[in-house]
Amino acid sequence: MAVELRLGVKSDMIEYRYSHQWLFRILAEEGARYVQLGSQLETYHLPDAYFHDLRKQADDAGVVIDSTFTTHRELGGFFRTEPGFEQVARKNYERYIEVGGILGATSVGSNPGAVLRDQMGTKQAGLKRYIKHMKELMHYAHEHGLKWLTVEPMSCLAEPPTLPEEIAALGQELTEYHNANSDSTVQVGYCTDIAHGYADRDGKIIFDQYDLFEACVPWMYEVHLKNTDSIFNSTFGFTAAEREKGIIDVPHFRQLLIDASDRLPVDRMAGYLEIGGPKLGRDYSDHQLEASLRESLQYLQTAFMQSSDPVPIPSRNAISEKSPVLISPSMMCVDPLNFESALRRVEALGVDMLHIDIMDGHFVPNAPMGLGILEALGPKTDLPIDVHLMVQDNDFFVELLEPMRVDQISVHVESCTHLDRTLARIREIGAKAGVAINPATPLSAIEYVLERIDYVLVMTVNPGYAGQKMTPASIRKIADCRKMLDDAGYGEVPIQVDGNVSFENIPAMVRAGGVNLVAGTSSIFHRDASWSENVVKMKQAIAAGLTASCQ
């Protein structure tokens, strides 16, 4: 079978320029699921908590930090003879392996290091030290849950391995060591750069990018995707302008990988876009990175992945099984500056519908979302759209919603002048009609519109703000509402619950009769875990409530 190709990005380009959240958002939007985390000075000194949080941020965005790889040749001390370099390299390499384990990465990689140009006679001794440490580190990586350590063949003799025979010798020795100790070591493979070749001191090409690529095949674990000039001097990305001046033929490299499938040590191969981007630290250049990154990724979607459209990417912890209780994320809780990116992340969680709160600043003292977002949302998602109107003039807003793709609309009994007429009108425009009822409002207020409603929204907080505590009588009210509906012959009418739908409250809400949970900052968007982890916890809480209901 042909090797399965994956597309990702090496994060070097954002160093000291943009946040990882910024990068993760762009990757999610462009359909590139995988991240190779580059290193920086602080990497070796930051606490574990930083990396736990970074893993959560990636998971929230629906991307996977599947690999880490050094950025600055900073683990190259095994080739140095001055006191301290070897010890520092070993200490930092061990920490980098620990970081990879915390991030849940499959591989940790590094440039081997460089022999000082004026001390080339020390190369063989340095290589011997490097191999000794790598064999020991293969055990250390195994202890921390990794699968691979990776090495990048470079483009000069001072940075081995470079020549095909050096690549083969190192690959064979470390692979033989793994085979002899397969129960306690990880494998070692090459992170092969498709823009690497070897030109001698006169600029004569001795081995081109295809020669070195072929030499790596038996040990190739992942690849770096970048462009270069005719002597492998400067490197850059794949914008239209960069493709004009570069020599790298990505479709050809893709075909080489496919053709070599039976000789590769893996059946899945990630290609990581590795670019420096525009000049670092300038107001006139930093802002150009996003456009350059997106254009290169869009090109690679076609040239490397052979995909005409980026595919929305699922979270690695997405929940697919269906439940009789629906999860409706409250979209007022996401970052409004990155709404579409958040939408894609929410869709990937396997939720049931999107809950959209529309407020007017009068019925409730808040107005976080407007009709403009709702209008733009309809064509962008296939999920049902559930609108909760918290407004003074319901009829005005219902008419504005008619041309939009809205699946259901709830209005408050407290603000409707003619509730029966408004509910009938909602059905006329093709949406399900729901009636929302505040904590202090008696259930008798909806007794004579039961014939008009498709669902009841029981508010368990006073409407208007996220993050409130549940009012004391809420669970009792849900149960009373369920009994009222059943006794009146409307057992098929579901109850939606909105307000402090927390992991702790969900079992009781479900046990009382809630079957559509509006999930906000106390559950799906809780800060203590990733969104996908929170969905798992919600499912567990729902299951606990359903089990209790059957007893």
For the question of residue 498 being annotated catalytic, the response is yes
DSSP for 299-332, please give it: HHHHHTT--SSPPP---TT------SSEEEEBGG
Beta strand 385-390 with 408-412 is parallel
Own/partner pairs for 297-302, CB < 8 Å, 24+ apart?
Answer: 297/7, 297/9, 297/26, 297/27, 297/30, 297/32, 297/273, 298/30, 299/238, 299/239, 299/243, 299/250, 300/7, 300/32, 300/225, 300/238, 300/250, 300/271, 300/273, 301/7, 301/30, 301/31, 301/32
Spatial CB neighbours of 174, under 8 Å, sequence gap ≥ 6:
131, 134, 135, 138, 188
Q: Which member of 59, 60, 66, 357 is catalytic? A: 357
Q: Which member of 59, 60, 193, 498 is catalytic? A: 498
Question: What is residue 120's three-state secondary structure?
Answer: helix
Active site residues: 357, 498
